[in-house]
Structure formats: C-alpha cells, structure tokens
Structure 1
C-alpha cells in the first residue's frame, strides 16, 4: 500500500474503519481549541500551541506538554481535583468544564463530507469505530446525532479504565480494531493530528488517512499518513456527493 494515493482509494477494499472524532467527524477541535485558549490565556496561548502541544493528546498530557513549553512546573495533583489552576489535574478538569459549557451552549454538527462517508460505509456494511483521546466523545456523538453510527467507541474514559497509552502509541486503535473484529492489515485509520497518524503507522494499519484541518499536508505525511486530503468529501465518488444542505443543528 506504499504507493496508494487518494485517487486510487476505495473504502470497499477494507474490512473496517477507525475514526478519530475531533476534527475528523465533528469540528469539535474548534471547541477544544477555544477551551484550551481560555484555559491558558495568561500564557500567551496561540493556535500553533494547540497543534504542537495539545492536538490528539489525552487531556492531562496536553496540559503537561503546554506547560513544559512555557517552562512551568506544577504538581500533578489528583484526577478528582476541583477545576482550577493549582495542579496539572485541576487545569485539565477546568478545561473539560469549559469544553462542556461551550458544547451545551453552541451544539455541534458533523462535517458534511464525514456524514456522507458514514452513510456510504453504513450502506456498504463496513463497520466503523471512534478512537478518540477525548473523555467527551460520547456526549459529542450524542450532540451531533451520531451515537448510533459507530459499532465501537474507544475514548479517553476507556483508555483510563484500561491503562492504555495515548496517541502516538497505537494502543487505542489496536483495541478498536480488536473490538470491531477486524485485522489491522485490513483496516483504515482516519486522523487529523500528527500524533494520530503516527499511531496509525505504529499499529501497522493498512491505510492511515490524514485529514488536514490545519496540521499541514507535509506534517501529516511526515508523521505517517499514507496520503492526506482536505476533507473526507475528497474520497467520495460522484455517486456519493457530500450534502451541505442538512438541517442546522
């Protein structure tokens, strides 16, 4: 598959598809980035910080990585710390609080190209899973009306319960494939983060598709993407156009 390109790719050639959620299925990356920006406003946070230190990582790893970039050291704290700024865990919990406030206020809708892709997979009987570092994957899927579209959801809650290493380790994707009952060599990974495409490569999946929502084609390719598209609509044939006329959510 080393020479595979977007124009030669067919979903029906594979047995299953594993999707990241934020930035691939729904534009929740925008909500996450807004929440992170508010959380770290005192540290001159920029959009580049999100892509370099946070995107695709488990929440507390993102806190640690960003703070390290500013030379800031905080105690780890405990997972049940009250939202605040005194510990890594308190900051992570405050970020989660901010995220849910924005989600409840503004709602979320899937990308049209991603919705059309899910429709295509459903019609073809190809099983799909979500593999996300976020602990908010289930409420996001509920808010987007997609809770019944995925056979398996591996999220930050599952990862914490099982002690799975976060992306770029392939553990979550390998578990997703196992729970779908598909072999990684017959499975597609779809990611928008450099850490996520690196996880797909590390897991020896058949194809790792990079979706460029800002990370950059070259960056995604350098970290392990088989090929990169700007949107999943780019992989839909003329018989399956993306629908941008769905009801506003």
Structure 2
C-alpha cells in the first residue's frame, strides 16, 4: 500500500537535503568515493573490499571527514585526523577526504548537473504557495552544486558543510544542522517538514522533532528509510504533485501555518 501524502504547502517550511533529493549529485559522490576508496584499500591491503553498502552506512549524508573516519574505523584502520587544508596526497582523514573531493569536483566541472524534474516542479509549487524552503546539506560543495543546477536563488537558507564546520555543528545523524537551519528560517521543527534520501539525514530530521520526515528512496530501500524515522517514503518528489499542482491531503492533515514571530 502506497504512503498517503500530506500537503507540503500546509507546513511553515520545508527543508531539503541536496544530494539525491534535489540533484543527482549523490551518484557523482558515490562514484567518487568508490574510485578513491578502491584505490586506497588496494594500496593499503585493507579488507573486506569496499562495497556500495559502505557508502550508505558510513558516507551518505555525513560531513566528508566524518564519513572517512567512520569507514576506516569499520575496517579497524585509524589515521591522524589532520587539517582541512591537508593536501589530497596526505594519509590523514582530511587528506583522504580532500582526495575524494578532487574527483567529485572534476566530474561536476566536466559534466555539470541538473535538478531532478520532480524536485524542481515541487519547488515551483512551494514557491507559488509562499512556503519557506531551505537546503540542509553536509557537503561543502553545496553552493557550487546549487549554482551549477541553476537553483541557488530558490532558497532563503543554505545550511552546508562550511557553516556546520564553522559553527561546530555535529554531523548527521545528529539533529544539529536541521534544527539550526529551522532556527535560521525562524520556524519550529514541530511545524515544518524535512526531506531526505540518506539514512543519516532521516535520523537527523527525526531526532530534530520535525512534524514530517519524508524519505526519498533513491536506492537505500523504503523499509530501511521508514525504520530510520521517515513518516512517508516516495521514489520521486513528483508524487507530491496532484493534478492541480497542490500537495495531496490525507485524513491526518499537516498542522496549520502560524505566523513566525
């Protein structure tokens, strides 16, 4: 039975993850991580081999360096943390993370990126309804991706890895980045919705007390997203668009909007 979908325009705000929700950059990230870690594991004779499941369990949705540390720890490998300015050739957590980012940036520059059509259509509906929207991404490349996709001007607030690092906010699955983004918008999580495709992101929004947590299943699995805390799961955000361009209301409607203080 399909999830009954609420009207997203009835919430005070909708906060979107970026990679895998608004743009298919998750695929570029997945490829960049795979290329980098397969070379690293081969050079260091690390077993078991890197798999796609490693991406979903240790990397997806997390800040870059936290993801590197998490995956290495899963193989009982520990290296110095280093500094964000470390060269990609250095065998530190930061150096390894920067190594992956070099691959990602090369692909983004050469191939560009476009938003998912269903996501863009939903952004249009929310804009026309006056619903406030924000991006909540762990990536330090968020602004570059949004610019390349031509949608950076759509969002009042862009909470990204740069701000999270500057302000000492914990990485997803901690609720910090979602809760802080809501505060930057001047809304309460309890009257807002969050949209995520990553397990860590779903757990982050659920822990932040958001009224609705939407899971977008781009491959991790619908049941896994529900188990992580998603209230509803869709394969694409165009499922929220009814024939008249409005969200679909359910028997349990979203909370009424209130004016922000």
Residue of structure 2 aligned with 1:41, choices 38, 41, 59: 38
Structure 2: tracts of 5 or more residues without a match: 42-48, 247-261
Secondary structure of 2:194's partner? strand
2:152 counterpart residue number: 147
1:50 counterpart residue number: 55
Answering whether residue 108 of structure 2 is matched by residue 111 of structure 1, we say no
Across the aligned residues of Structure 1 and Structure 2, the Cα RMSD in angstroms comes to 1.3
Structure 1: tracts of 5 or more residues without a match: 242-249
Q: Is the 8 A contact 1:6 1:235 kept in 2?
A: no
1:115-174 Cα offsets, whole Å, 9 max, x none, are 000000011010100000000000000000001011100000000000000111111111
Q: Give, in angstroms, the shift of residue 224 of structure 1.
A: 0.7
Secondary structure of 1:36's partner? helix
Q: Is the 8 A contact 2:32 2:100 kept in 1?
A: yes
Residue of structure 1 aligned with 2:185, choices 180, 184, 188: 180
1:93 counterpart residue number: 98
2:15 counterpart residue number: 18
TM-score normalised according to structure 1 size: 0.92
The one of the two structures with greater contact order (alpha-carbon pairs below 8 A, sep at least 6) is 2
Task: Work out which of the two has the higher radius of gyration on C-alpha atoms and give 1 or 2.
Answer: 2
Structure 2 Cα separation of the partners of residues 163 and 6 of structure 1: 36
1:59 counterpart residue number: 64
Structure 1 Cα separation of the partners of residues 112 and 104 of structure 2: 11
Q: Is the 8 A contact 1:83 1:90 kept in 2?
A: yes
Structure 2 Cα separation of the partners of residues 84 and 55 of structure 1: 23
Secondary structure of 1:31's partner? helix
Q: Give, in angstroms, the shift of residue 85 of structure 1.
A: 4.7
Answering whether residue 171 of structure 2 is matched by residue 166 of structure 1, we say yes
1:186-224 Cα offsets, whole Å, 9 max, x none, are 100000011111111111111000000111111111111
Q: Is the 8 A contact 2:5 2:240 kept in 1?
A: no
TM-score normalised according to structure 2 size: 0.88
Q: Give, in angstroms, the shift of residue 79 of structure 1.
A: 1.6
1:245 counterpart residue number: none
Answering whether residue 24 of structure 2 is matched by residue 27 of structure 1, we say yes
> Structure 1 residue runs of 4+, over 6 Å off?
none
1:135 counterpart residue number: 140
